[in-house]
Structure formats: structure tokens, C-alpha cells
Structure 1
Amino acid sequence: MKNFLKKPNEKIFGLKELDRDTLIFRVLPRFLLEILRKYFRLEVTGVENIPRRGPVILAPNHSGYSGFDAFLLGHIVQQEAKRVPRVLTHHFWFLTETTAIPATKMGFTEATYENGLNALKKGNAIVLFPEGEQGNFKPTSERYQLQEFKRGFVRMALEAQCPIVPVVILGAEETHINLKKLKFTKFLRGSVIPLPLNILPLPAKWRIRFLPPITLPYKPNKVDDSELVHEIAQDMQEKLQQAIEEALHDRGNPFI
């Protein structure tokens, strides 16, 4: 089963000869992502900060409720760094076979600690959003304000002894406007969903910046040191927040 992010060894000719799965889960997504890249006038910097081999955690800010940031980031990593990242995504994708099968074929992996660690131990790059759904579904009134980082990505980095590459993504907040974050307490305890203003994406200009990799100077046995893990996560959040604010200052009007 081929991942839609994966670049084929040969160019694809003769679409009539391709099977249905290849067309739907490999050719069409790559085509649509290239359209989005041009529509958003995407600028990418810092690609040289992505290690070309070995396990690595790409840790971006999460926003825009639609998941476009996950799709585009995975696509850019494949195109620019020539790596096929495992994108850890919301468990809602895997509640039924109807959504789980296409999600798996498109390279998504359910966002669990075990799945992330297994991918890293196999030498893969993973995309992991430390804010989780709280960042993705926060209202636009709180745009670019990082929500509290979960600590799982720090423990993964310690246990797998791999670097973390923070990633700044600008544009998703303006592309999809979220009015409110709705919390479920009865049927889906602890879950949140967005209340969107628009479905069609607005033509905001996107920027993706890969920051220098951070290698934690600790051994795997520190994975159970809750105080240390919490401190590292907070430090990572502060550094990414500062980088976001600097990038926003340099960007100016997001639609020009």
C-alpha cells in the first residue's frame, strides 16, 4: 500500500492504466496539494534544518480547524526534504472503517504515544502537533496563541533519542475562521469541535518555517521524570511562541 506523500520512482503517464486506489490516494491528493500551494502563495524556509535521515519529530503550531496545515506540511517535507513523514492525526479519523481506511492510505497515523514511538524507532520522521485538538480548534480570536503543549512528544524524543524540529506555520488561522470551540461532556467526554465561519478556504498567504533542530541532552531513563519533561515542554512552547511572533511581525498583511 503506497503512501500518497511518497514520490514515485517514475513519472505517472497514462492515467487510464492506473488503478482506482492509486488515482484517489496518490495522484489526486498530490495534484490538489500543489494547487493549494500555489493558491496560498506558500513560502517555505529552513528546509535545511530537517535531518535527511534518522528519526525526527517535526513539531508545528496547529491552527485553522481544517487540517490543511497537516496536509501541506507533510507534502512540503516530502517535496523539499525528500522524506515521507508519518503524520499523527486526530483519533476521529479512525473511529470507523469508512474514514480509517482512506486516512491510512493517505499516510495518517492515529495520534498515540505508541504509534509515534514505533515510527521513530523505525527511523521515520513524524509530524506531531504538541497542542493537539486544543490548538487546531481554538477560536480565531485567539489566533497564534499557543495552547498548552502536551508532553508526549518530549517523552518520545527522549526515548527514541531523536531531535525535535519546531515548525512555524502562518496562514492557516486566516484561511479558515473558527468562531468558537465547542466542548462535549455527555457523549464524547473531553472532545472539542470547531464552529466554523467559512468552509471554502480564504486566500491568505502561507509561510512555513522550519527552525533549527533541538537535541535534548538527556538519556532515555529521564522519560519518567515528570518535572523535567514538563519543563522541557514549556521551554519548547515559549521558543515556538517567540518565533511565531517574530514571523508575524515580518509578515504584515496576510492577504497581500
Structure 2
Amino acid sequence: MINQHSENILNRQLETLNTSYEFSWFDRFCLWYPPGWLILFNRHWQHYHDHPDGWNWLEYGLFLIPGGFYLALLSRWLRLGCRSPRQEVGEFNSKYQQAFRQEVLAPIVKYYFRGELQNITNLPPAGSMIVAMNHAGMSFPWDFLTLGYLLGDARGWEVQFLANPVLFEHPWMIWWLPSQWSQVLGGVRAELNDFEAAIAQGKILLYAPEGVRGPLKGWKKRYQLEKFDISFIQLSDRYHIPILPVVCIGNESLHPWTINLKKLQRLFKLPFLPISPLMLVLILFPSMGVWAMRTRLRYFIQPLEPAGLETNSAKGRAAVYQQAQQLREKLQIQTNQLLK
């Protein structure tokens, strides 16, 4: 966590800009050309933040040619004096989240992933809640980012998402994106202490009840919900925060035909390692790790699940597990109906 002084510096950086980020012809090209998405993310960050350890124009150009990312990586490593980029600590910044949402996410969500909310009447008034969704796709978490954008667009909510710690500290992520990128955009570590702290502060959190089991199941078991964790039920009751279930249709197609190789996954210390025919392209263009297949992401908002289950006793904990699996079964039935 950064202190209040550091947060004020970030806010002043955003306030003192005379103009917002405007797409150039190069940005439009990057949006059209899959290896350029990572360029767009970094260029947007560098517009709003000082980032001397970031990529430069020569390296951006190398991103766009087969195998060029490896030369760009070598160039940046030499330019930094044969060291890794500095690992800075960041904290959620709603102003930058809004800028990123309006200037980068909007065209991707609207025209590429064609995101849409269904059953909007089930959205509650503004307030703290846990938004629980089937998370899948074995790719960059576009289903989460798209839902966060759509909820912000529909209700003006500041939504944060629970993310695997790998998205904050893995060496690949530190080279791909600024080290504080995930935190500033609203990422909360998927660890109990951080999860509980965010709930206690009354935030709106996007949460995947299946945990990493959702993406791990691969293409063969698509749209088959795995066992739900119980922590979100427990915290919902402890802090009297309701749960808003959401069914996403389309996220399994973000990276189709995948299987997970557990040995390689453990070797590279990743939560999952998807293998598919698309991996041949990713070997030539590693910058496409933030890209996903074009699909239609539809989000079906379910009725709000109020808090209120006691969890203090052993019997209560058993009841929590039962409630979590009942919710999973309910969402599985709804998913099956929507797929038909």
C-alpha cells in the first residue's frame, strides 16, 4: 500500500494534464493489430505517469514483427543497465481507472468483445457488494475487465477485481506492464487478508467463486462450473454485504481449444498455462499475451443474494459450504438454459 502522499502525487499527475489521451493513427493501428495491444496499454500509462523504466519507441516497433519482442526485451534490459524494471508499489486510483476505461477499454469492449449487460433491472442501488461471476477463458482476464467497464458505464460504479497475486509480481508481468498497473486499476490480491480488508472498506468487488479452478478446467469442460469457495459467503455475512451473482456467456471463447499442462504451469509458477493452436502465434508474438479472441461477452445479472447466514459455529460453517454449492447449482442451471 502506498501512503496518502504518494496517492496525492498520482492524483495531481492526472489533474494537471491539459488534455486526455487521444488516439493517434498508431494507436488505431495497435488496436487493429493484435501484437499492438500491449503497446497501447503501456503508451496510455506513460501518458499519465512518469515511467523511465518503460518501453521506448524503438522497442514498440520491434513488438510488431515476428520474434521482435525478444529483441525489444534485450534492448530494454541493456538500456536499464542489465537489470529488471523497478518494482514500484501502487494503490487503486479511481481517476486513472476512469481514464483507462473511457479511452482504452471503451472501444475494445464495445466493438471487439461486444460486451452487453442483460437483466439490468436486477442491479441494486449503489453500495458495497460482492459481484460473483463464472470466470473462464484461460486468457488475460477480459471477462472481468469488460464487466467492470459495463457496470461503471451503466451505474457509475468504481469496481475493483480480485486477482491472482501473479498479476502483481510475476517476472513476466513486471516486464510486460508497469509493476503497479494492476493495483492502480483496481486489482486486489486474491489473498484472504487483502480480500477481507477490501470488503471491510465497503468496496464493490468482482470475485470468481471457482477460484483458479475456473480457468484451469480448459475447453473440454467449458461452462461447467467448478466447486465454489466459501470465503465470499463468510465475508458477505460477517460484514453484511450482499452478493450479486452474474452469469457470463462468451468468456470460454476468449482462448478456445485449450488444455492446461500442469507440469509446465508449475515450472513457470503460473496459475494456469493454456496450450492451444494459438500458442504457435504467441511464441512469435509474446506481446499478444494480453490479447484474446474476438467474441461476444454477455452478462446476465441475477437477483441479489442478501447476507444473513450465521457462520460462527461448526454447524454454521457446514451451512456456508452448502449455501455456496447451492448458489453454484443455481448458476449452472441458469448457464445451461442460456446456452440453449
TM-score normalised by length of structure 2:
0.63
Q: Does 1:33 align with 2:33?
A: no
Aligned partner of 1:195 in structure 2 is 275
1:16/1:33 CA distance change after superposition, 3 Å:
closer
Per the TM alignment, residue 187 of structure 1 is displaced from its structure 2 partner at its CA by: 5.3
Provide the aligned length of Structure 1 versus Structure 2. Answer: 242
Q: Does 1:135 align with 2:161?
A: no
Aligned partner of 2:48 in structure 1 is 22
Aligned partner of 2:252 in structure 1 is 173
1:119/1:208 CA distance change after superposition, 3 Å:
same
2:131 to 49, 58, 62: 58
Deviations along 1:225-247, one digit per CA (max 9) or x if unpaired, are: 32111101110100111111111
- Greater strand fraction, Structure 1 or Structure 2: 1
TM-score normalised by length of structure 1:
0.81
1:150 to 207, 219, 229: 229
Gaps of 5+ in 2: 1-6, 9-14, 23-43, 52-95, 279-287
1:47/1:220 CA distance change after superposition, 3 Å:
farther
CA distance in 2, matches of 1:113, 1:50: 26
CA distance in 1, matches of 2:163, 2:257: 19
Aligned partner of 1:254 in structure 2 is none
Q: Map of 1:93-172 to 2, 5 A cutoff?
A: 93-95=167-169, 98=174, 100-172=179-251
Per the TM alignment, residue 188 of structure 1 is displaced from its structure 2 partner at its CA by: 7.2
Deviations along 1:46-101, one digit per CA (max 9) or x if unpaired, are: 23323333321100001111211111111112111211112001110122583641
- Greater helix fraction, Structure 1 or Structure 2: 2
Counterpart code for 2:185: M
1:231/1:65 CA distance change after superposition, 3 Å:
same
Alignment partner of 1:58: what SS? Answer: strand
Per the TM alignment, residue 159 of structure 1 is displaced from its structure 2 partner at its CA by: 1.0
Q: Does 1:71 align with 2:170?
A: no
- Higher mean alpha-carbon deviation, 125-134 vs 33-42, is at 33-42
Per the TM alignment, residue 168 of structure 1 is displaced from its structure 2 partner at its CA by: 0.7
- Higher mean alpha-carbon deviation, 123-132 vs 42-51, is at 42-51
CA distance in 2, matches of 1:224, 1:91: 32
1:189/1:248 CA distance change after superposition, 3 Å:
same
CA distance in 2, matches of 1:243, 1:45: 13
Alignment partner of 2:273: what SS? Answer: strand
Gaps of 5+ in 1: 3-9, 250-256
Q: Percent identity?
A: 24
Per the TM alignment, residue 196 of structure 1 is displaced from its structure 2 partner at its CA by: 3.9
Alignment partner of 1:78: what SS? Answer: helix
Deviations along 1:186-245, one digit per CA (max 9) or x if unpaired, are: 657895332244365333222111111011432463698321111011101001111111
Aligned partner of 1:43 in structure 2 is 116
Q: Does 1:239 align with 2:318?
A: no
